[in-house]
Homo-oligomer: A and B are copies of this chain.
Amino acid sequence: MNKGRMEAFSDGVLAIIITIMVLEIKVPHGVEFSDLTSLIPIFLSYILSFIYLGIYWNNHHHMMHTVKKVSGGILWANLHLLFWLSLVPFVTGWMGENHFAQNPVALYGFILLMAAIAYFILQGQIIKSNGKDSVLAKAIGKDIKGKLSPVFYIIGIGFAWISTWVSGAMFVAVALMWLIPDKRIEKILSE
């Protein structure tokens, strides 16, 4: 089984997901900047999802680096991850068009949570297939970010019906946590 073609297919799907999201930003009919106002929440959702998909692509890339042989389990765990990520444009659109209403915000968090779980399963399949002493197994030993993310998502989902601002803050916090280069964030987290 060829790792290269699995990477190429994943890259293709991620590139398409990240790009078709922009189709949700429907061109307004008016020519005033005020006609763009109603697009602001859609645009903010787009930015957040763009960053999330960028993070997934980046991490996916690093994780694949450690893979030596691709088992059937890895292949389907990978498709499972792509499945949840493929729903990101849908929830991004629902959340944005409804100006961060409670239910759409909660569903957005749910999809992020499922993607995180799918990523976790993929990680497990890779370690299972490449050995407990593999590079990946060692690298994720102290995977604080990986463990914190689902917690943040669950808090975000729960707060959706209390304050969507807290939910938003949670989702942004996870994105920032992954965006900031590893060394610095690990320093912060270990303080």
Contacts and interface: CB of A to CB of B under 8 A. Distances in A.
Interface of A: 1-2, 5, 7-9, 11-20, 22-25, 27-29, 31-33, 36, 47, 50, 54, 57-58, 61-62, 65, 72, 75-76, 79, 82-83, 86-87, 89-90, 93-94, 97-98, 101-104, 107, 179, 181
B179 A76 contact: yes
B16 A12 contact: yes
15 contacts: A2-B65, A5-B61, A8-B11, A9-B11, A12-B12, A13-B19, A18-B86, A20-B22, A22-B89, A23-B23, A23-B89, A31-B98, A33-B103, A50-B86, A76-B179
Contacts of A102: 31
Contacts of A76: 54, 179
B22 A23 contact: no
A190 to B, nearest CB: 19
